[in-house]
Amino acid sequence: MRAIILCLLLFVQPAHVFGEQRVPILIYHSIDEFNGVGSKELYVTPINFEKQMSYLRDHGFTLLTFERWQDISKVKKPIFITFDDGYKNNINAYNIFQKLKNEQFGPTGTFFVISDFIGNKNRLTASELKRMANSGIISVQSHTATHPELTKTDNLEYELKESKEKIEKITGKPVIALAYPYGAFNDRVVEETKMHYTFGLTTTPGVFSKKNIKNELYYLPRIYIKYSTTLEDFSEAVDK
């Protein structure tokens, strides 16, 4: 009878009791006031971003970059904060991280930059990227060389290999993660990505949980944080 009861308990207990880990990877673009140019939903105001990061601090989250992926099973409430496109206004996020940093909370984030756009108008410069990478707060990774839809380009080596090498030359640090532009990928793109990177990030909604499927580190899902995201929405997204 005890064996039967134990078996029943195994079926009714929630998955997290047995250690199923769910790791949110958040995606941001611009951290700034919306100025009427571009898509409003791709902006998050600095005030809201600070409230969101304060929520993570106050609720015991550990912010990681992909260099510390192996730590997701070692730290409390791991989460990844990512920014696509390399906009100059991402300096606002860096400054907020510095403001919130204390002995218990070490905020970090990952900037996915388009290597051929570095230094262009409204984009981060090489010196800014190097300074932030050297701070230990920001990891600078690749969003390709020119931001094409990778499933439709014939020049994958340039987009993936050349962008990686250019960013590494700027920061002096390894580039191990790629964010697919527009979230577009297929088997060919994944196979090329595996030649140069350890991780591939999509825009597929959801949190990461290990399923031991082939190439799962090249299908990493992300959760969009938008202009319209309320703090309640945010808390629900990260606490799923």
Give me the domains of the chain, ranges plus CATH numbers. 18-238 (3.20.20.370)
Q: If we measure between CA atoms, which residue out of 207, 202, 208 comes closest to residue 237? A: 207
Q: If we measure between CA atoms, which residue out of 156, 221, 162 comes closest to residue 187? A: 156
Contact between residue 179 and residue 142 where contact means Cβ atoms under 8 Å apart: yes
Q: If we measure between CA atoms, which residue out of 237, 240, 180 comes closest to residue 204? A: 180
- Summarised one tens digit per residue, pLDDT across range 82-141 is 999 999 999 999 999 999 999 999 999 999 999 999 999 999 999 999 999 999 999 999
Average pLDDT over residues 30-59: 97
| Local confidence band at 240 (pLDDT 50, 70, 90 cut-offs) | confident
pTM above 0.75, yes or no: yes
- Name the region of 205 (left: φ>0; alpha: ψ -120 to 50; beta: rest): beta
How many angstroms separate the CA atoms of 194 and 30, rounded?
28
- Summarised one tens digit per residue, pLDDT across range 6-32 is 444 334 444 343 457 899 999 999 999
Range name among 5-9, 42-46, 204-208, 230-234 with the lowest pLDDT average: 5-9
Average pLDDT over residues 46-60: 98
Share of the chain above pLDDT 90, in %: 90
C-beta atoms surrounding 238 within 10 Å: 20
